[in-house]
């Protein structure tokens, strides 16, 4: 059973530095969409990668799409700046070194909002930049979702 | 509001956005979890039916 909220909680409590991006970032800011995974951009440095790996191990993380083969993430995967698409015991987790335009953690953190949940503070990429990123994306699913995100941004601005 | 923007807005149910904006971030995250699990249950139900 997916429990993406607890997955976020565990990332926070493990001391992992990350910015929440993607669908769940949009959901947390009021977009009426449903998303099946957690997307994060993590800070790539040895200590942060090490904290992330300890957590991933405790969550039984493995790369998705490997059939019956169980392939565990390692520090090289998480330091390379690419995308690690993982399944954990709490649900799907995409660990992204860089996203659209080659943006990494340091490029995104100044565009993040702090949101409070379960007594924690988490950095979430602001909806206005999420919309910009979706505009840059060539993925059909991103184009579809763009209309909803733009409407949410306008509606939020109206208040 | 221009025609293009008006048409785009018409494709989106603004009442759903308003309901979501009333919630706290935690409520939105937990709502998403419930939706995901409901969809998974429905998918499992369909898979069972297809194999039954």
Sole residue written with tokens 């490029």: A107
CB distance A28–B35 less than 8 Å?
no
Least CB–CB distance from A31: residue in B20, B24, B26: B20
Burial string for B15-40 (b: 16+ CB within 10 Å, else e) reads ebbeebbeeebbebbbbbbebbeeee
The domain A4-149 is placed in CATH, from the list 3.30.460.40, 3.30.465.10, 3.40.640.10, 3.30.1370.100, at 3.30.460.40
pLDDT exceeds 60 at position A96: yes
Give this prediction's pTM. Answer: 0.91
Residues 6+ apart with CB under 8 A from A2: A36, A90, A91, A92, B33, B36, B37, B40
pLDDT at B50: 74
pLDDT value, residue A41? 98
| Banded pLDDT at B12 (limits 50, 70, 90) | confident
pLDDT at A58: 98
B32·A155 Cβ contact <8 A: no
pLDDT at A138: 82
The predicted structure's pLDDT at residue B52: 64
Listed in sequence order, the residues at least 6 apart from A106 whose beta carbon sits closer than 8 Å to its beta carbon are A43
Q: Report the alpha-carbon distance of residue B26 to residue A135 in Å, rounded.
A: 27
Neighboring chain A residues of B13 at a CB cutoff of 8 Å: 32
B7: pLDDT confidence band, cut at 50, 70 and 90? low
ipTM: 0.88
Cβ atoms of A15 and A51 closer than 8 Å: yes
Question: In chain A, where are the structural domains located?
Answer: 4-149
Query: Which residue in B23, B28, B36 is closest to A2 by CB distance?
Result: B36
The answer to whether residue A154 scores a pLDDT higher than 90 is yes
In sequence order, what are the residues at sequence separation of 6 or more whose Cβ sits closer than 8 angstroms to the Cβ of residue A8? Answer: A20, A24, A38, A117, A122, B29
B24-50 residue pLDDT tens: 999 999 999 999 999 999 999 988 877
Binned at pLDDT 50, 70 and 90, residue B1 comes out as very low
Instruction: Mutate one of A34, A92, A135 to test the B interface: name it (highest B CB count within 10 A).
Output: A34
């Amino acid at each position: 059973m997916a429990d993406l909220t607890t997955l976020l909680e565990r990332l926070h409590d493990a001391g992992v530095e990350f910015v929440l991006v993607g669908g769940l970032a949009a959901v947390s800011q009021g977009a009426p969409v449903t998303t099946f995974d957690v997307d994060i951009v993590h800070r790539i440095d040895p200590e942060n990668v090490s904290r992330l790996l300890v957590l991933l191990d405790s969550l039984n993380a493995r790369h998705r799409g490997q059939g019956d083969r169980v392939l565990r993430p390692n520090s090289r995967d998480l330091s390379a700046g690419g995308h690690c698409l993982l399944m954990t015991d709490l649900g799907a987790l995409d660990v992204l070194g860089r996203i659209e335009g080659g943006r990494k953690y340091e490029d995104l953190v100044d565009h993040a909002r702090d949101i409070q949940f379960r007594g924690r503070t988490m950095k979430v990429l602001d909806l206005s930049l999420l919309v910009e990123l979706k505009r840059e994306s060539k993925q059909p699913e991103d184009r579809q979702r763009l209309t909803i995100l733009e409407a949410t941004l306008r509606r939020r601005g109206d208040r | 509001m221009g025609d293009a923007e008006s048409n785009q807005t018409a494709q989106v149910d603004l009442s759903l956005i308003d309901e979501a904006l009333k919630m706290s971030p935690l409520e939105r995250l937990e709502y998403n979890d419930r939706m995901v699990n409901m969809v998974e249950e429905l998918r499992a139900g369909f898979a069972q039916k297809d194999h039954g």
